[in-house]
Amino acid sequence: MRLTEGVEWAAHCAVVLSKLPPGAYLPATRLAEYHEVPPAYLAKTLSVLARAGVVESVPGRSGGFRLARRAEDVTLLDIVLAVEGNDLAFRCAEIRRRGPAPFIGGKGSPACLIASAMWRAEAAWREELASITVAEIADRVDRERLTPAARERAAEWRAAAATWPSR
């Protein structure tokens, strides 16, 4: 089991986007150089986020991306599910119904106990991810991780990189 690298990129991008002033956008190219990741591939990930409704995109010369809703309303789970897809990690192939001593049951039969346990664990995983928001992460990064100098540098970079479509 392994999460794609795009999850990490998307999460960091969301944190950066959350600090933009209202009406400002950031192009994928800028976000890519900010994190030193392949620009074209990050663009793809951001498109997926846009289709999932986590970010909004504006095309055109002074276009870019911003969060589609308040940072307090974007959870880490939203981002992970957008990038990875909301399918469950464990897929039950119902192999209990096969072989010489199969389980007999129609469509409404109780679920396979192994699948149930796996899905319960996934529910716990999702619940944990849903309990933390982008706003929370961004705040704590500023207060607990960055020095005032680094904070300032980041703010200046954002001010220089941001675009203001149709202002």
Partner DNA sequence: GCGCATTTACTCGGATATTTTATGTCCGAGTCTCTTGGG
Partner DNA sequence: CCCAAGAGACTCGGACATAAAATATCCGAGTAAATGCGC
Q: Which residues bind a copy of itself (CB under 8 A)?
A: 1-5, 7-9, 11-12, 15, 33-37, 76, 80, 84, 87, 89-93, 95-96, 98-104, 110, 113-114, 117-118, 120-122, 124-129, 132, 137, 140-141, 144-147, 150, 153-154, 157
CB 57 within 8 A of CB 64: yes
Stretch in the footprint of DNA (CB under 7 A) among 12-20, 58-66, 105-113, 118-126:
58-66
Which of 5, 3, 30 shows the shortest CA–CA distance to 17? 30
Question: What phi and psi, each to the nearest 5 degrees, are found at residue 20?
Answer: -75, 145
CA distance 81 to 139: 23
Choose the one of DNA, a copy of itself, none that binds residue 73, judging by a C-beta under 5 to 8 angstroms depending on kind: none
Choose the one of DNA, a copy of itself, none that binds residue 108, judging by a C-beta under 5 to 8 angstroms depending on kind: none
Residue 12 or 63 with smaller CB distance to a copy of itself = 12
User: Which residues are within 8 A (CB) of 8 and not within 5 positions of it... i.e. 6 or more apart?
Assistant: none
Choose the one of DNA, a copy of itself, none that binds residue 38, judging by a C-beta under 5 to 8 angstroms depending on kind: DNA
Interaxial angle between packed helices 39-51 and 5-18, expressed in degrees from 0 to 180 and rounded to the nearest 10: 70
Choose the one of DNA, a copy of itself, none that binds residue 57, judging by a C-beta under 5 to 8 angstroms depending on kind: DNA
Which of 53, 44, 47, 55 shows the shortest CA–CA distance to 14? 55
CA distance 73 to 54: 10
10 in contact with DNA (CB under 7 A): no
Choose the one of a copy of itself, DNA, none that binds residue 96, judging by a C-beta under 5 to 8 angstroms depending on kind: a copy of itself
For 112, how many CA atoms within 13 A lie in the half-sphere containing its CB? 15
Token pair in block for residue 43 = 């663009």
Stretch in the footprint of DNA (CB under 7 A) among 10-18, 40-48, 74-82, 136-144:
40-48
Residue ranges in contact with DNA by CB under 7 A: 1-2, 4-6, 27-30, 38, 40-41, 43-44, 46-47, 50-51, 57-65, 163-167
